[in-house]
């Protein structure tokens, strides 16, 4: 039986729009804020290499699997999994995969929005000239003042959630398409200009060396886990966002080509962001491993010193907000679509409910940077010194997303019939199909499980690794 299902939420107007929307989802704070800071925290080169490996071996197969399931199910991840499990005569429990995704989406967006709020606050700071001729110390102060003030964080978090829900209310094929078309290329050009600046004024060689000379002594199981988590996070995989976007994909579009394009674009932006930031870090004697404040402490120095930096810096932070915006929408769309399907409520009501829930969870992150920096109940455990934000980020990126991705691959490459798989993927090139199936069947599931076991120390106990 060919799929005759239709999406009640609409369709992309073309294959190209899907690529734009999926790239809009993938390219976000994960590339520009998170990638540089965790690469910095985890020693640079070796982490970057692992990250790239994870993109190739897990990222692309999972992305293809997600789009495949989404397009075949044509509804929110929960209902897509329910429908497909029934069709393939598999257990109803597959539905939980969709539920896990919806949950991960809420949790991720709750802190994502707070960080996007920092970027919003920085639009104003930059535009009002705070950074003109700024020193490293002064830039650091501006950042500390922001994050130690819960009211300000709360204000910008609220603004960002409202912005996100405004687009979600209108549905995917409304404003989103148009925004992505212009803003993504603009962001890309700005990053290239930043690299130009970093080449002329930063310590570019040092930056290159840091990102691309692997120092394997820096590797440990935690670093491997983080590189994997970052690959999933950056590509928006493992929670149904791409599955949801796949459900709006026209029938004739090639899943393999589009997935590949999205993954390449995303990876490129992350690497370019690293190239723009680290030369400035080293030229100014800043700390590469300083954590989540990295870009907020680094980029203002460049904007403060370059001519036209006021205008340029303002545009940069505006575009960063847009990149975060198009990602945020995809984090909440699966939940919104599911509530609509489940309770037959309007898109408006569903968006309101989701927005409020995310906003409330976000309070935990707002206070993570000031009054509630550490959760005392965890003292004495391995979670000691972790804030609510650290915990959420760790749990979602490093555990929930890889677990989701693993299950998605298992369903697509094992549980579905060969016929369904081929029918939906429509890969003409037999070799390419086999490569995908091999990666999704063996490499991704086994790789993710081995990394989990490695972190738990189980491989060590079995004397499999030293």
> Measured from the CB of residue 160, what is the shortest distance to ligand TRP in angstroms?
13
- Which span (20-28, 54-62, 163-171, 373-381) binds ligand TRP, by CB under 6 A? 20-28
107 binds ligand TRP (CB under 6 A): no
| Residue-level length of the chain | 466
User: 87, 416 in Cβ contact below 8 A?
Assistant: no
Annotate each residue in 349-388 with x if it binds ligand TRP (CB under 6 A) or - if it does not, as one string.
Answer: ----------------------------------------
Q: Which of 19, 26, 114, 403 is in the footprint of ligand TRP by CB under 6 A?
A: 26
Q: Is the separation of the CB atoms in 303 and 222 below 8 Å? A: no
Site string for ligand TRP, 226-265 (x = CB under 6 A): -------xx-x--x-x------------------------
Quick one: which of 5, 2, 20 has its CA closest to 245? 20
Q: How far apart are CA 463 and CA 226, in angstroms?
A: 23
Q: How far is the CB of 395 from ligand TRP (least distance, A)?
A: 13
User: Pick from 64, 271, 331, 439: which binds ligand TRP (CB under 6 A)?
Assistant: 331
Q: How far apart are the first and last CA of the chain?
A: 51
Buried b (16+ CB within 10 A) or exposed e, 409-435: bbbbbebbeeebbeebbebeeeeebeb
| CA–CA distance, 427 with 431 (Å, rounded to integer) | 9
Q: Could you tell me the smallest distance in angstroms from the CB atom of residue 66 to ligand TRP?
A: 10
Asked if residue 242 lies in contact with residue 266, where contact means CB atoms within 8 angstroms, the answer is: no
Report the nearest approach of ligand TRP to the CB of residue 324 (Å): 7
- Tell me which of 28, 313, 362, 445 binds ligand TRP, using CB under 6 A: 28
274 touches ligand TRP by CB under 6 A:
no
Q: Which of 9, 18, 31, 452 binds ligand TRP (CB under 6 A)?
A: 31
Report which of 108, 131, 338, 315 is spatially closest to residue 230, judged by C-alpha positions: 108
By the 8 A CB rule, do 47 and 274 touch? Answer: no
Nearer to ligand TRP among residue 261 and residue 284 (C-beta) = 261
**Least distance in Å: CB of 172 to ligand TRP?**
13
- Residue 209 beta carbon to ligand TRP: minimum distance, rounded to whole angstroms: 25
**Residue in 458, 360, 444, 372 with CA at minimum distance from that of residue 408:** 444
Closest CA to 252 of 20, 14, 69: 14
- Does the protein bind ligand TRP through residue 330 (CB under 6 A)? yes
Query: Binding residues for ligand TRP, per CB under 6 A?
Result: 25-26, 28-31, 108, 233-234, 236, 239, 241, 327, 330-331, 401
């Amino acid at each position: 039986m060919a799929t005759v299902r239709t999406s009640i939420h609409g369709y992309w107007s073309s294959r190209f729009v899907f690529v734009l929307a999926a790239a809009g989802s993938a390219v976000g704070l994960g590339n520009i804020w998170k990638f540089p800071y965790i690469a910095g925290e985890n020693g640079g080169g070796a982490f970057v290499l692992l990250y790239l490996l994870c993109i190739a071996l897990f990222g692309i197969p999972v992305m293809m699997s997600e789009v495949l399931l989404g397009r075949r199910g044509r509804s929110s991840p929960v209902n897509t999994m329910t429908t497909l499990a029934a069709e393939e005569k598999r257990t109803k429990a597959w539905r939980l995969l969709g539920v896990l995704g919806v949950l991960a989406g809420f949790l991720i967006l709750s802190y994502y929005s707070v960080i996007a709020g920092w970027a919003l606050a920085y639009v104003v700071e930059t535009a009002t000239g705070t950074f003109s001729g700024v020193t490293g110390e002064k830039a650091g102060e501006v950042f500390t003042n922001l994050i130690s003030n819960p009211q300000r964080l709360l204000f910008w978090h609220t603004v960002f959630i409202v912005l996100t829900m405004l687009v979600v209310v209108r549905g995917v094929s409304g404003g989103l398409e148009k925004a992505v078309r212009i803003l993504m290329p603009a962001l890309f050009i700005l990053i290239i200009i930043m690299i130009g600046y970093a080449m002329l004024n930063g310590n570019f060689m040092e930056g290159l060396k840091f990102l691309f000379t692997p120092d394997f002594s820096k590797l440990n199981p935690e670093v491997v886990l983080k590189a994997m988590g970052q690959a999933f996070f950056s590509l928006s995989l493992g929670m149904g966002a791409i599955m949801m976007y796949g459900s709006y994909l026209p029938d004739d579009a090639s899943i393999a080509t589009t997935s590949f394009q999205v993954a390449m674009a995303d990876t490129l932006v992350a690497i370019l962001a690293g190239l723009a930031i680290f030369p400035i870090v080293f030229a100014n004697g800043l700390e590469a491993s300083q954590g989540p404040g990295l870009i907020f402490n680094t980029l203002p120095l460049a904007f403060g010193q370059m001519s036209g930096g006021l205008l340029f810096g303002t545009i940069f932070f505006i575009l960063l907000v847009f990149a975060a915006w198009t990602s945020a929408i995809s984090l909440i769309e699966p939940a919104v679509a599911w509530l609509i399907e489940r309770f037959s409520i309007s898109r408006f009501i569903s968006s309101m409910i989701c927005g409020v829930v995310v906003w409330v969870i976000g309070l935990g992150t707002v206070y993570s940077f000031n009054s509630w920096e550490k959760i005392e109940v965890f003292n004495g455990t391995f979670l000691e010194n972790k804030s609510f934000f650290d915990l959420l980020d760790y749990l979602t990126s490093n555990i929930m997303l890889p677990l989701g991705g693993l299950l998605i691959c298992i369903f697509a490459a094992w549980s579905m019939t060969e016929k369904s798989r081929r029918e939906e993927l429509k890969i003409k090139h037999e070799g390419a199909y086999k490569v995908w199936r091999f990666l999704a069947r063996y490499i991704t599931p086994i790789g993710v499980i081995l990394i989990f076991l490695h972190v738990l120390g189980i491989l060590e106990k079995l004397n499999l690794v030293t």
